[in-house]
Amino acid sequence: MLKSKTFLKKTRAGGVMKIVREHYLRDDIGCGAPGCTACGRAHEEPALELQPQDLASSLCPQPHYLLPDTNVLLHQIDVLEDPAIRNVIVLQTVLQEVRNRSAPVYKRIRDVTSNQEKHFYTFTNEHHRETYIEQEQGENANDRNDRAIRVAAKWYNEHLKKMSADNQLQVIFITNDRKNKEKAVEEGIPAFTCEEYVKSLTANPELIDRLACLSEEGNEIESGKIIFSEHLPLSKLQQGIKSGTYLQGTFRASRENYLEATVWIHGDTEENKEILLQGLKHLNRAIHEDIVAVELLPKSQWVAPSSVVLQDEGQNEDDVEKEEERERLLKTTVSEKMLKPTGRVVGIIKRNWRPYCGMLSKSDIKESRRHLFTPADKRIPRIRIETRQASTLEGRRIIVAIDGWPRNSRYPNGHFVKNLGDVGEKETETEVLLLEHDVPHQPFSQAVLSFLPKMPWSITEKDMKNREDLRHLCVCSVDPPGCTDIDDALHCRELENGNLEVGVHIADVSHFIRPGNALDQESARRGTTVYLCEKRIDMVPDLLSSNLCSLRCDVDRLAFSCIWEMKHNAEILKTRFIKSIINSKASLTYAEAQMRIDSTTMNDDITTSLRALNKLAKILKKRRIEKGALTLSSPEVRFHMDSETHDPVDLQTKELRETNSMVEEFMLLANVSVAKKIYEEFSEHALLRKHPAPPPSNYEILVKAAKSKNLEIKTDTAKSLADSLDRAESSTFPYLNTLLRILATRCMMQAVYFCSGMDNDFHHYGLASPIYTHFTSPIRRYADIIVHRLLAVAIGADCTYPELTDKHKLADICKNLNFRHKMAQYAQRASVAFHTQLFFKSKGIVSEEAYILFVRKNAIVVLIPKYGLEGTVFFEEKDKPKPRLIYDDEIPSLKIEDTVFHVFDKVKVKIMLDSSNLQHQKIRMSLVEPQIPGISISNMDLNEPEKKKMKLEK
């Protein structure tokens, strides 16, 4: 049966176009119930169960299926995902609405419907002859869809009666819309709200905790003092943004101070790019990463970023007076140039909430169901949830979702989603850090794995097409110990004309991952391999990363080679790019390669090749540094794991050898050479990487710190910065130069991927290169796969495809890659922090030398070189008399009683694991030297955290 609609549309050119929309209706669409004679064989594989017995509902004792409306699917997805909820009919109308309103929920519901154990059935009611309805005159789209859902529910109940005379099966309509429910009941459809139905499931009381707490904002203020001002409606916000009254931007909460945040303003405006917000009322219920509208305050109300470190630790949920007292702490008299544009949130344009990991802070009130949840991410406020299983969840990592934030509540409301496991357990904490940093870590699906080559795999004649055979060359790889995903290999040999031939050979991953298939889409989504302390989350399946693409020794492998002809002074004469086949002669570690270079007895081909490469690398590095490339420093740590328990038994800073630098130089050279080639060929859609120059204000802390040690750091260009860092030496304080370089690293901007057609600033500040890209690590970075594809097209070794030459699609890819790389970095840091805690848990209390990196109003941030560990020493503690603190931002310095601390001062600190707060176990540092009465700790105070813990456990 065919329904068609015809209407006329005016074109831009002024013509009239006739549009005919055809809508096909069928009567062979199955209902999903097994054994349904009325449907015949309309559905080969019934999704619903014949006699659903699993749910004992006091409201509906007989067997039934559930049919939820759109809002239930959107807001109660956590309930629907629970294993207890089965046999659900998802209507096409509902699915389409969900798809338009929330992509993440749509994906989750698709995953549930594909899980056969859940027995969810998608019914295409919009194409079924008996359930399709047309929009009536005067009826809006929303009301039409509500009616379509009721029509389908009614049809189902009548249809199921035809199965057999004694059939008791019912379809229950679940809706939270009061009017829709009333109409359904009038029409004879059994209907309940989600809350009514879930509370009727007496055998599954834990489901109540997963209910989203939903109430209209207007009805929320029943009791309690109104704390926050009302959010303006979207229409007013859009008008205000258009007229310039309000500014739109991304809300970024502070990790160190819960009463402070910044809003990064969208658009190209240079003025007021970053707006500072201070105080609860100005933050006005915005949550980290929300898109908000802010109003700029008059200049007389502008404030400076606070140097106070404040954590929200109060137990009383609504103690607003205390907050106001804390807000006064933030206000200090500062020079006018320190003041920043300051504003307040007037409305929310888009909420970017996600499920949050953390722990339950059980209420002190006995039998209370209302408790506060403390997220692991300190930028997220605590969330009030209702749960009956508080005793079970205490001491466990759980996931909670936010439902809303009323104006009269100090905290947002939310609901329990999932129990992850005991706090402190390695598996649980690893899961938490992966979830918190949005790292895709589920096993690769069958759809993805189906695109892998069939084993046993070997190189065929077809693979050799457009490829050069380089198996005769003496190629070797140099990597960290235990590396199985070997991306790159090198060779160097002397040519007959006396010049050198140098080759960088990169795994040809793009040969195996073809554009657009499921494997390619999953690799693009993941964006990067994530390296944690004891595991890695691969971007591509293991068969590729550790086997077929890994350039292991003594096996034939497909590669993409960048080959230069050079003089002995590293001057490049010729560059060529070829797809190749190589056979690596050795897989060496950095230490093994260094040993060969330094050996007086070894003179084989591999060693000769390494020595020549090392010599060239030194020349290349010197040349780069002369151009203004920066040599910065960041303390990297390496854990030595116990072979049985996999717990860290030792913690050291990583030792860097000449060979690390050797490999790095040739990778940089290959990346620059490829960047030039792909930009030359594709000026509008080359995927490049840039490193913006930091704004001068970023360097303030570095310049002041150096000045305090009578050193001058110039920051007008990268070259002047590099030169002044080289000159900043102290014969009495050799570690000072390293500290300055660590501090300089903190001043840098993030390097980012971009599409050449969408930007005109290509410069890489840190490398002092006018153009740069990533080509050398396609096993672990998706950007390199795109670059390989561009280069392959440029040299005629592969064909192009539409998305590759679409600069907007490429810009979207870059946006995702930048996000994934940033999150991977944060996840790696979190993994190091957790393993550091495990190390000090077994090590006990340690006393070590440290250097001050930053001074704050009430604390100093120190670096311990031995462990590459950074931590904060606080000088104000609860229940202890406050010391006399004088903070000077200009020098910067902090005077405590009669002792003055400057940046880079040497101190001695005690390091211990503080488990007194299970929410955030942390490395606690206390001052040992210099001795300050009442501040520095002596050996008598070492067991204090343990005492505190025992007190908590009583």
Task: State residue 770's pLDDT score.
Answer: 94
3-class secondary structure, 52: coil
pLDDT in tens, 422-456: 888 888 989 998 998 989 998 998 889 999 999 89
What number of other Cβ atoms are within 10 A of residue 743's Cβ?
23
Task: State residue 639's pLDDT score.
Answer: 63
In 3D, which of 640, 679, 611, 700 has the Cα closest to residue 891? 700
Q: What is the mean pLDDT of residues 554-563?
A: 96
Q: What is the mean pLDDT of residues 313-342?
A: 63
Task: State residue 947's pLDDT score.
Answer: 40
pLDDT in tens, 30-63: 888 887 777 765 555 667 887 776 567 888 888 8
Contacts of 456 (CB under 8 A, 6+ apart): none
Q: Determine what percent of the chain is predicted with pLDDT higher than 90.
A: 40
3-class secondary structure, 601: coil
Angle between helices 782-794 and 807-843 (to 10 degrees): 140
Q: What is the pTM of this model?
A: 0.78
DSSP state of 656: P
Q: What is the mean pLDDT of residues 353-361?
A: 88
Angle (CA) 222 225 231, round 5°: 80
Question: Do 853 and 872 fall into the same domain?
Answer: yes
In 3D, which of 810, 356, 761, 786 has the Cα closest to residue 528? 786
| Cα 309 from Cα 316, distance rounded (Å) | 20
Q: What is the CATH number of the domain that holds 925?
A: 2.40.50.140
Residue 444 lies in a domain: no
Tokens of 387: 């749960």
Task: State residue 277's pLDDT score.
Answer: 92
Task: State residue 218's pLDDT score.
Answer: 37
Pairing of strands 246-253, 291-296: antiparallel
Contacts of 94 (CB under 8 A, 6+ apart): 68, 69, 70, 73, 149
Task: State residue 952's pLDDT score.
Answer: 34
Q: What is the CATH number of the domain that holds 67?
A: 3.40.50.1010
Residue 641 has pLDDT above 70, yes or no: no
In 3D, which of 196, 344, 206 has the Cα closest to residue 262? 344
Question: Do 518 and 588 fall into the same domain?
Answer: yes
Give me the DSSP letters along 683-720. Answer: SSS-EEEEBPPPPGGGGHHHHHHHHTTT-----SSHHH
Please indicate whether residue 879 or residue 319 has the higher confidence score (pLDDT): 879
Task: State residue 818's pLDDT score.
Answer: 95
pLDDT in tens, 210-219: 888 765 443 4
pLDDT in tens, 226-259: 888 999 999 899 999 999 899 999 999 988 888 8
Question: Do 683 and 767 fall into the same domain?
Answer: yes
Residue 819 has pLDDT above 80, yes or no: yes
Angle (CA) 499 668 640, round 5°: 115
Residue 946 lies in a domain: no
Question: Do 197 and 61 fall into the same domain?
Answer: yes
Task: State residue 6's pLDDT score.
Answer: 65
Q: What is the mean pLDDT of residues 343-358?
A: 91
Domain membership of residue 648 as a residue range: 460-691+752-826
pLDDT in tens, 168-227: 788 999 999 999 999 999 999 999 999 999 988 888 888 888 888 765 443 444 445 788
Per-residue pLDDT band for 707 (boundaries 50, 70, 90) equals confident
Task: State residue 216's pLDDT score.
Answer: 44
Show the beta-strand stretches assigned E in 39-194. 64-68, 88-91, 120-123, 170-174, 191-192
Q: Tokens 């942390």 appear where?
A: 922
Contacts of 511 (CB under 8 A, 6+ apart): 463, 558, 579
Sign of CA dihedral 926, 930, 932, 933: positive
Task: State residue 41's pLDDT score.
Answer: 52
DSSP H or E segment with residue 591: helix 590-598
Task: State residue 487's pLDDT score.
Answer: 92
Question: Do 241 and 169 fall into the same domain?
Answer: no
Task: State residue 161's pLDDT score.
Answer: 81
- φ, ψ for residue 910, nearest 5 deg: -95, 135
Per the DSSP assignment, residues forming a β-bridge with 172 are 66
Neighbour-count burial of 748, counting CB atoms closer than 10 A to its CB (0-12 exposed, 13-18 middle, 19+ buried) = middle
Of 405, 437, 469, the one marking the end of a domain is 437
Residue 889 lies in a domain: yes
Q: What is the mean pLDDT of residues 270-276?
A: 78
Task: State residue 334's pLDDT score.
Answer: 57
User: Are 815 and 526 in contact, with CB atoms under 8 Å apart?
Assistant: no
Show the beta-strand stretches assigned E in 306-387. 343-350, 356-361, 370-375, 383-386
Task: State residue 263's pLDDT score.
Answer: 93
| Cα 551 from Cα 588, distance rounded (Å) | 12
Q: What is the mean pLDDT of residues 648-666?
A: 77
Question: Do 772 and 726 fall into the same domain?
Answer: no
Residue 886 lies in a domain: yes
Domain count across the chain: 5
Residue 951 has pLDDT above 80, yes or no: no
Residue 743 lies in a domain: yes
Least confident segment among 383-387, 713-717, 920-924: 920-924
Q: What is the mean pLDDT of residues 461-489?
A: 91
What is the tally of helices (H) and strands (E) in the chain?
Answer: 25, 38
Per the DSSP assignment, residues forming a β-bridge with 639 are 651
Task: State residue 872's pLDDT score.
Answer: 87
Question: Do 170 and 306 fall into the same domain?
Answer: no
In 3D, which of 817, 912, 871 has the Cα closest to residue 635? 871
Task: State residue 44's pLDDT score.
Answer: 57
Angle between helices 807-843 and 518-526 (to 10 degrees): 60
In 3D, which of 575, 754, 768 has the Cα closest to residue 676? 575
Of 723, 747, 771, the one marking the end of a domain is 747
Q: What is the CATH number of the domain that holds 340?
A: 2.40.50.690
Question: Do 179 and 99 fall into the same domain?
Answer: yes
| Cα 817 from Cα 825, distance rounded (Å) | 12
Pairing of strands 468-469, 572-583: parallel
Task: State residue 97's pLDDT score.
Answer: 92
Question: Do 277 and 396 fall into the same domain?
Answer: yes
In 3D, which of 843, 833, 898 has the Cα closest to residue 872? 833
Residue 23 has pLDDT above 90, yes or no: no
Residue 638 has pLDDT above 90, yes or no: no
3-class secondary structure, 390: helix
pLDDT in tens, 286-296: 999 999 999 99
Of 437, 470, 496, the one marking the end of a domain is 437
Average pLDDT, rounded, for the chain: 85
* Cα atoms in the Cβ-side hemisphere of radius 13 Å centred on 224: 17
Residue 591 lies in a domain: yes
DSSP H or E segment with residue 917: none
Residue 409 lies in a domain: yes
Residue 540 has pLDDT above 90, yes or no: yes
CA terminus-to-terminus distance, the chain: 74
Question: Do 136 and 155 fall into the same domain?
Answer: yes
Q: What is the mean pLDDT of residues 309-333?
A: 60
pLDDT in tens, 839-880: 888 888 888 889 998 888 888 889 888 887 888 888 877 667
Tokens of 279: 């105080």
Rg of the chain taking only CA atoms, in angstroms: 32
Please indicate whether residue 939 or residue 254 has the higher confidence score (pLDDT): 254
User: Are 489 and 507 in contact, with CB atoms under 8 Å apart?
Assistant: no
Per-residue pLDDT band for 645 (boundaries 50, 70, 90) equals low
Per-residue pLDDT band for 654 (boundaries 50, 70, 90) equals low
* Amino acid (1-letter code) at residue 406: P
Question: Do 722 and 854 fall into the same domain?
Answer: no
Please indicate whether residue 82 or residue 939 has the higher confidence score (pLDDT): 82
* Amino acid (1-letter code) at residue 823: M
* Amino acid (1-letter code) at residue 512: F
Task: State residue 529's pLDDT score.
Answer: 95
Residue 433 lies in a domain: yes
* Residue 774 Cα distances to 533, 670, 722, angstroms: 24, 9, 24
Question: Do 686 and 700 fall into the same domain?
Answer: no
In 3D, which of 426, 283, 435 has the Cα closest to residue 357? 435
Per the DSSP assignment, residues forming a β-bridge with 652 are 638
Tokens of 593: 């390669």
| Cα 845 from Cα 941, distance rounded (Å) | 11
Please indicate whether residue 672 or residue 933 has the higher confidence score (pLDDT): 672
pLDDT in tens, 785-809: 999 999 999 999 888 898 898 999 9
